[in-house]
Homo-oligomer: A and B are copies of this chain.
Amino acid sequence: MTRADYVIGVDGGGTHARARLCDGHGAVLGEGQGGPGNIRLGQAVAWANVNAAIDEALGAAGLSRDVLRRTSIALGLAGIVEEDDGPAMLAAGPDFLRAVAVSDGEIACLGAWGGGDGAILITGTGSAAYAIVNGIGRPMFGWGFQVDDKGSAAALGRAAIKWALEARDGLIDDTDFTRAVRDRIGGRPSAMVGWITAARPRDFGGLAPMVIEAARAEDAAACAIIARAAHDIARMIDRLVEVGAVRVCLMGGMAAHIGPWLPASVRSRLEAPQGDALAGAILLSRRLAAPNVQDADGEYHVARG
């Protein structure tokens, strides 16, 4: 089988897509960035943004799109949920020598543990996990804001509003924090209803810093909300260990804030990641680039049960 001359890795999240171009030996030739790569925006939009990132990387290396037919690419894209999603996305894109599209969680996990076994739990605006056990990948949690996103910034913000409104209705005690949350979303009933009705996960997530700050000031409601998020994170970490993850890393913007609230027994299981998601995409792309070369870590498969 032909060995690819070039290797591209793409990390396509909900906010932007990043691409890294390497030669066949892994030396970085160029990098680029584009808009969101989430396939839920539609394949055309996702490809436009991914292509923009690729073109920028090619430009930085002084190369044209002609080389893509000699290139191996691995795309890690938000919104890829099932095995069908990756091939469908690839069919809508340019021709490469070899290509694979997996979830952004999968390349993050590959990057974190250098392609070996382990799990990641990401808590940013939302939350999700990915575990690789005996070389088999498995996405977990992360079903979306309406029913999940436990331990995320959006969950913290939503809980803050719930508590603030329960306090207003007298179901629980009011605190400086619950009053401040009501003021933040408009204070008057109609303003609050309007805010809540229009709010997206990132809007709820925008209240997370208030919760963190109030918890530092030992506000009872804010402490209870973070403690609950930490409890949820701990449950998920325990479950990742239970399914066989030999090491777990807590990533994302909320990790540093919720980490200190975790029980010591859970915290002690956490390790720092070895690399980022783009490193994971490059790793996957390099394996694809030379498929007849036996990888020291063994083969990597994805199972979705």
Residue positions of A touching B, CB distance < 8 A: 40, 81-82, 84-85, 139-141, 143-144, 146-148, 158, 161-162, 165, 169-171, 188-190, 192-193, 196-197, 199, 235-236, 239, 242-243, 304
Q: A170-B239, A236-B171, A239-B169 are in contact. Are A144 and B190 (CB under 8 A)?
A: no
**Inter-chain contact A146/B196, CB cutoff 8 Å:** yes
- In the bound complex, residues from chain B placing their C-beta under 8 Å from that of A243 are 170
CB-based nearest B residue for A144: B196
**Inter-chain contact B148/A162, CB cutoff 8 Å:** yes
- In the bound complex, residues from chain B placing their C-beta under 8 Å from that of A196 are 143-144, 146-147
Bound: A94/B146 CA distance, A:
41
Bound: A166/B85 CA distance, A:
23
**Inter-chain contact B158/A190, CB cutoff 8 Å:** no
Bound: A81/B196 CA distance, A:
14
- In the bound complex, residues from chain B placing their C-beta under 8 Å from that of A239 are 169-171
Q: A189-B304, A190-B81, A190-B84 are in contact. Are A158 and B169 (CB under 8 A)?
A: no
- In the bound complex, residues from chain B placing their C-beta under 8 Å from that of A235 are 171
- In the bound complex, residues from chain B placing their C-beta under 8 Å from that of A190 are 81-82, 84-85
One complex includes copies of this chain to the number of: 2
Bound: A197/B190 CA distance, A:
26
For A143, A162, A188, A192, the residue with the greatest tally of chain B CB atoms inside 10 Å of its CB is A143
CB-based nearest B residue for A84: B190
- In the bound complex, residues from chain B placing their C-beta under 8 Å from that of A148 are 162, 165
- In the bound complex, residues from chain B placing their C-beta under 8 Å from that of A81 are 189-190, 193
Q: A81-B189, A81-B190 are in contact. Are A144 and B236 (CB under 8 A)?
A: no
CB-based nearest B residue for A243: B170
Min CB distance, A50 to chain B, in Å? 20
Bound: A199/B144 CA distance, A:
12
